[in-house]
Amino acid sequence: MYHGVTQSSGDAKKERVLHTRVPAVLERELKRFADNLRVPVSNLVRTILEDAVSVADAATENVEERLKKAAKHLEKERERIKKKMEHDPLEGILAFQEVVLAMPARCAKCDKELPRGGKANLAIGESPGHPRRFVCEECLPKAT
């Protein structure tokens, strides 16, 4: 399996896309963890890598080694990584557009079930690769 991972190198604004192979077992573990946190796998991988880089200067290791090493510690690091990933689920969202759902979805914020045929608010992210998200009426940002 290949994951597209963006990693900042030197210049923080300059992001590169890296591809790495991960063993199937690791893939399952990462996927399970990501599902658990309700974040895209690539975000999780990115967080783990950033974390690994910040812990030690791993300039001599390649991404795959780093990822494998990090994954070994996944079990005990779970809580810490989870905390790192727990940011506002609506981060990076520019706008919401009211839509009628053609298939059931869940609110990205409160996890409420949004039925097919019901109204939901489609989150429009700042980048085209942004995962698709909906929020319920109550979780829409309110003008104050």
Name the pairing type of β-strands 119-125 and 113-114.
Answer: unpaired
The HSE-up count of residue 26 (CA atoms within 13 Å, CB side) is: 21
Is residue 114 at the binding interface for Zn ion, with CB under 5 A as the rule? no
- How far is 126 from 130, CA to CA, in rounded Å? 7
Is residue 109 at the binding interface for Zn ion, with CB under 5 A as the rule? yes
Is residue 136 at the binding interface for Zn ion, with CB under 5 A as the rule? yes
Question: Residue 26: which of 55, 57, 50, 3 has the closest Cα?
Answer: 3
Which three-class secondary structure state does DSSP give residue 102?
coil
Is residue 38 at the binding interface for Zn ion, with CB under 5 A as the rule? no
Q: CB-wise, 109 or 130, nearer to Zn ion?
A: 109
Q: CB-wise, 37 or 140, nearer to Zn ion?
A: 140
The window from 43-51, 62-70, 89-97, 100-108 that contacts Zn ion (CB under 5 A) reads: 100-108
Query: Shortest distance, CB of residue 111 to Zn ion, whole angstroms?
Result: 7
Is residue 108 at the binding interface for Zn ion, with CB under 5 A as the rule? no
Is residue 141 at the binding interface for Zn ion, with CB under 5 A as the rule? no
Q: CB-wise, 45 or 139, nearer to Zn ion?
A: 139
Is residue 139 at the binding interface for Zn ion, with CB under 5 A as the rule? yes
Whether the Cβ atoms of residue 60 and residue 46 lie closer than 8 Å to each other: no
Q: Which residues contact 21 (CB under 8 A, 6 or more apart)?
A: 1, 2, 64
Tell me which of 44, 52, 107, 114 binds Zn ion, using CB under 5 A. 107
- How far is 115 from 96, CA to CA, in rounded Å? 18
**Which residues of this chain interact with Zn ion, rule CB under 5 A?**
107, 109-110, 112, 136, 139
